[in-house]
Amino acid sequence: MGIFDRFKKKESAYDVTDIRVVDLDKNFIFDYDLSTWIVKAVYEYDWGDDCFTKEFKIENENETLFLNIDNDDELVISLTKKERIVNIDENLPDYIVANKKPPSKIEFEGKTFLLEEESPGYFNDWEGDKDNWIEFISWDYIDKSGEFVLSLEQWGERKFEASSGKIIKEFEISNIYPQKQD
């Protein structure tokens, strides 16, 4: 490093004149559904075969949601909220343990969800040790309209998480910009 290198302007990882949803990072702000949201945390998932997805914990003045970005073959964006797995079906954890997988069809909030994909993978919280990947398995469901999603995750023998939400389009997220840090 030369003496003047420290004064060079750092290159952005994104085009500052055209920030897209795939450019999101911690402390970015954006508008969605007539509300302003801030990215509070960034998570990464490794699905193997060099396939990675990102999840952003986002907050507005009223709630916390999760924005999931899958940019593998095509851009797929889903907006989800955490659910208690027993609220989906109180017998679901026992069913998964006994059968080593969940049912292929789940009824939840008046919708029928069909199992779309089973994906073993690894999770990393960018806030912690970037080399600390946690193994888990995910089952992704989609309703018949293709608009609503449901996800079940198993972390270890008997720890389960669930989320539900909907698929959104990239244009629904606007005014993306990084928040200045003091």
125 vs 1, higher pLDDT: 125
On average, the pLDDT of the chain sits at 90
For residue 73, pLDDT beyond 80: yes
pLDDT of residue 126: 75
Query: Considering only CA atoms, which of 119, 104, 108 is closest in space to residue 48?
Result: 119
Q: Are 162 and 84 in contact (CB under 8 A)?
A: yes
The whole-number pLDDT of residue 12 equals: 53
Residue in the block written with tokens 């990882």 = 13
The phi, psi pair for 104, rounded to 5°, reads: -80, -15
Q: Which residues partner with 38 through β-bridges?
A: 29, 59
The more confidently predicted of residues 77 and 11 is 77
For the residues 2-9, what does the mean pLDDT come to? 45
Read off the pLDDT band of 132 (50, 70, 90).
confident
Please state, in angstroms and rounded to a whole number, the distance separating the CA atoms of residues 146 and 167.
8
- Average pLDDT (47-52) is 90
SS3 label, residue 59: strand
* pLDDT tens readout for residues 99-112: 999 999 999 999 99
Rounded distance between C-alpha atoms, residue 36 and residue 38, angstroms:
7
Q: Which residues pair with 148 in a beta bridge?
A: 166
Per-residue confidence (pLDDT) for residue 131, from 0 to 100: 76
Range of the domain at 71: 5-178
138: number of Cβ within 10 Å? 19
**Domain count of the chain?**
1
pTM, two decimals, is: 0.87
Measured in Å, how far apart are the chain's first and last C-alpha atoms?
27
Q: According to the model, what pLDDT value does residue 3 have? A: 47
